[in-house]
Amino acid sequence: MYRIILGTYLLFMVTMLTRCEPVTEVSELVKQTERIQVVFNSNLGDYTDITDKKQIRKFKSYITDEPTPIYECGYDGYILFFTEAGSVRMDFNLTDDCQHVIYDYGQSIETRQLSADGLEYLRSIVP
């Protein structure tokens, strides 16, 4: 598992360093994603699989580049981004005072604000 995460991280870093335009972790992750799985903690067996590239690309706008504090909230579920190199998990919270995702990136924990579209989408698929 560690090798997969390290491989994914190195792939992101190489790609980010060789591009001229600004790239975020999320946009690069979405670009490399082949499948997304959205799982809600309230019902782990009932999840949403997304394989359509157009739907996957929408996640670039669902997760902003705006960092948030590390909230003391529980999480409503998680998003798994599956790439050729492995997978990345982002836990999310949809409550009004804790709307964000949290994930490991390299040696740090990152948080990002969910956009209004991202909140609307995730709330629309709650089982």
> CA separation (Å) from 43 to 2, 56, 78, 88?
27, 22, 12, 20
| pLDDT at residue number 25 | 83
For the chain, give every domain's residue range.
2-124
Within 8 A by CB and 6+ apart from 10, the residues are none
Residues 80-113: tens digit of each pLDDT: 999 999 999 999 999 999 999 999 988 899 999 9
- What's CA 16's distance to the chain center, in Å? 17
Residues 63-89: tens digit of each pLDDT: 999 999 988 889 999 999 999 999 999
pTM of the entire structure? 0.79
Residues 26-37: tens digit of each pLDDT: 999 999 999 999
CA within 13 Å, CB half, 83: 19
Helix axes 25-32, 2-18, angle to 10 degrees: 110
Number of helices (H), then strands (E), belonging to the chain: the values are: 5, 6
- 2-124, which class in CATH? mainly beta
